[in-house]
Amino acid sequence: MPARAAKVLVVDDEPQIRTLLKATLTRAGYSVVEAGSGREALNAKTIDKPDLVLLDLGLPDRDGLELVTLLRNEPRTALIVISARDQTEQKVAALDLGADDYVTKPFDTEELLARVRASLRQRLASEAERQVVEVGRITIDLLERMVRRDAEEVHLTPKEWILLAELAKHPGRVLTHHALLRTVWGPAHVGQTEYLRVAIRALRQKLEDTPSQPKLIVNEPGVGYRLIAKV
């Protein structure tokens, strides 16, 4: 934990959810600011300058996606959206607008804390920490462009490396199918999800203990992939 506790702005119109989130986050050592509406959230963003925003997409007074853009930029702030189960399209849209991650109601608090840590990591981790990512038996060295399983080097194709590196640059965070396709294959191929599936499968066969039951690279149905990393 850094010297100053990271500040989290919780935006939800339900007071009991805010209370719960405050209890969970406080226990984990964060300082918490609450907002019950879009307007309060925008005020709090200016006044309290939070490090991370937890935003419920279903606020009554403002469109959730509009708030994603407003709360995330100027200054840039980590942002996690909270959404209902049947709002996959909205989740993906929020991620494409720059949200770092999402949780679905009802959420598991441990999972929520893992997402918060992963999203804050980018701002708080040191240079050295960012260069080497360890996932289970796998070590990904982003600077040396090298992957090791235990001590042994794993050989990847160029596309596999770009894909794994992209996931490793955001450990623990979900990256949408679109975002990955754009980075690895280019904007012309964002519709070709099958490329992504095949490359992920190849990576799993080289990195996972049991490729048919992946533990390192996991999929969020309809959303994207996540590299499970201890943060």
Partner 1 sequence: MTEAQSRQAHPSIAAGIQSYAGAVALVAVSTLIDLWIAPRWGTAAVDMIYLPAVLAAAALWGLGPALVAGATAALAYNFFFTEPVHTFRMDRVADVVTVVVLLIVALVTSRLASAIRSQAQLAAAHAVRNATIAGFAGRLLSCSGAEDIARTACAELHRLFDCNVMLVEGLPEPRVVSGAPDGNRLTPSDVAAAALTIESGEPAGRGTARLQPAEWMFHPVRSGEDVLAAVGLARDDGLLPVGEDDLPLLANLLDQIALALARARAEDESREVAALRERDHLRSALLSSVGHDLRTPLTGIIGAAAELRHDGGNDPALVATVECEAGKLERYISNLLDMARIEAGAVKLKTEPVDLVDSVAAAIKDIRPTLGDHPVSVDLPDDLPLVRADAELLHHCLINLIDNAGRYSSPKGPIRVAAAAARGEVRLSVEDEGPGLPQDAERALDAFSRISGSDRKGGTGLGLAIVKAFAQAMGAKVLASNREGGSGAIFTVLFPKMLVVKASDTADAG
DSSP strand pairing (52-56 vs 7-11):
parallel
Would you count residue 174 as binding partner 1 (CB under 8 A)? no
Interactions with partner 1, residue window 37-56 (CB under 8 A): none
CA distance 142 to 108: 31
Would you count residue 183 as binding partner 1 (CB under 8 A)? no
Give yes or no for a contact between 5 and 31, defined as CB atoms under 8 angstroms apart.
yes
Q: To the nearest whole angstrom, how small is the minimum distance from the Cβ of residue 81 to partner 1?
A: 14
Residue 226, classed as helix, strand or coil, is: strand
Would you count residue 204 as binding partner 1 (CB under 8 A)? yes
CA dihedral 69→70→71→72, nearest 10 degrees, is 40
Residue window 78-117: x/- pattern of binding to partner 1, with contact defined by CB under 8 A: ------xxx-xx---------------xxxxxx-------
Residues near 173 by Cβ (< 8 Å), separated by ≥ 6? 100, 101, 115, 118, 119, 226
Segment contacting partner 1 (CB under 8 A): 16-24, 31-39, 119-127, 133-141? 16-24
Segment contacting partner 1 (CB under 8 A): 2-10, 21-29, 44-52, 168-176? 21-29
Angle between helix axes 193-207 and 158-169 (nearest 10 degrees) is 90
Residue from the set 58, 136, 141, 206 that interacts with partner 1 by CB under 8 A: 58
CA distance 229 to 171: 6
CA distance 22 to 9: 9
Would you count residue 29 as binding partner 1 (CB under 8 A)? no
**Total chain residues near partner 1 (CB under 8 A):** 46
- Residues lying near partner 1 in the complex (CB under 8 A): 14, 16-17, 20-21, 23-24, 27, 58, 84-86, 88-89, 105-110, 157-159, 177, 185, 192-201, 204-205, 211-214, 218-222
